[in-house]
Amino acid sequence: AMAHVGPVRTELATRTIFNILGPLTNPAGARRQLTGAFSRSLIRPMAEVLGILGSERAWLVHGSDGTDELTITGVSWVADLGLDGQISEYELHPEEAGLPVHPFEAILGGDPAQNAAAFRELLSGAPGAYRDAVLLNSAAALVVAGHADTLRQGAEKAAESIDSGAARTKIEELAKITSEAA
């Protein structure tokens, strides 16, 4: 059902209730998730809803630069639905994952061709802001999933996945499956 509202959301060109409902409907049935919110004021209520809906663990995040993800430009806010069902809120900084802070301009995207080229460079191991943004958010996902104990450990695992070529291989496999299903 959410797929049908996508074109309408795009046409409206503004945030709507569907920007909140999309992550909460959880059609894949994930019990653990890292989810971004377009407003800091939404992270706790969304974490509460995910807890009520049966999520085992979730981080709801918002970057101080307005992004709906953990940001490498400064502080991010987290509402952490823990395994005990309790929600804790805290600030998170890129340095906690062993990553530097970057200016916002360093993560601004371009047109589709530029973004695709940047993604290919990232998967090839090129250092920079895009890589660090991916490492930070991947680290958080690994912590939430229980595959890393700390953000620093998660960032190291994510970097190894990129540097070994495993991330590129997985993306290529997913692209093949997607094109076959289309």
DSSP 10-75: HHHTS--THHHHHHHH-TT--SEEEEE-SSGGGHHHHHHHHHHTT-SEEEEEEETTS-SS--SSS-
pLDDT given at position 30: 81
Count Cβ atoms within 10 A of the Cβ of residue 163 and give its class: 0-12 exposed, 13-18 middle, 19 or more buried. Answer: exposed
Angle in degrees, CA 17, 20, 24, rounded to 5 = 130
* Class of domain 1-92 (CATH, top level): alpha beta
pLDDT given at position 17: 58
pLDDT given at position 147: 98
Could you state, in order of their start, the residue ranges of all structural domains in the chain?
Answer: 1-92, 99-182
pLDDT given at position 12: 54
Q: How far is C-alpha 5 from the geometric centre of its chain's CA atoms?
A: 22
pLDDT given at position 87: 98
Residues of the chain under the 50 pLDDT cut: 2, 9
Element (H, E) at 97: none
- Which residues are 34's β-sheet partners? 59
pLDDT given at position 9: 47
